[in-house]
Amino acid sequence: MRLDKFLTECGLGTRSEVKRLIDENAVRVNGTCKVYPKTSINEKKDVILFRGEPITYKEFRYYVLNKKAGFVTAVEDYRDQTVMDLLPDWVVRKNLVPVGRLDKDTEGLLLFTNNGKLNHKLVSPKSHVDKTYYVEAKNIISQNDIKKLEEGIDIGGYITLPGKVEALESKKILLTINEGKFHQVKKMLEQIDNEVTYLKRISFGKLKLDDLELGEVKEVELEDII
């Protein structure tokens, strides 16, 4: 692998940015300080240092985005901007795709990875990964409504699995489900004669949004996810 490609895939920047770092002698290969962008390396055996710190090649990468509304969850779309447009330049995009989906007008936690097996596992209906949403509704959500949401509700030929509801205010709840049917949360609210006015996913499995700002991205490790 070329050194500039390796550095780019390790997240040090774009090809032009890592070329500048190499020209500044910020990178060493096996102790050699004078290297070039096209220098050939063995990413699994050679010792690569960036400003004195070792760089480890990662086959798989995982990123969490606090998605903004107005972006579709897709790698590309002919009509709308996609969540890929929200990713900063330092994100390594090779084979990177979003895990599952969030509606265009929904905000919150969205995971990206190039690990196809993990992606399939997390979105598989058999996995039952917990997803918690902060929900603001048009009308008051009664205790009877909460009971219906928690017991499972018919959303049009399909009865949802039992959910968990934490009431925050009269029109605000935290709703935890472990399915991912199309527009599921919105349909669940419709079935209690209500309407979602704002929706944000705040957790996905072990991952939590915490203090990640809207539109921000952070890299996480596999152990943070499963």
Catalytic residue selected from 4, 77, 80, 103: 103
CB within 8 Å of 169: residues ≥ 6 apart:
none
Residue 60, sorted as left (phi over 0), alpha (psi -120 to 50) or beta, turns out to be beta
CB within 8 Å of 143: residues ≥ 6 apart:
none
Q: Any catalytic annotation for residue 105?
A: no
Q: Which pair of structure tokens corresponds to residue 200?
A: 């944000």
Report the catalytic residues.
103
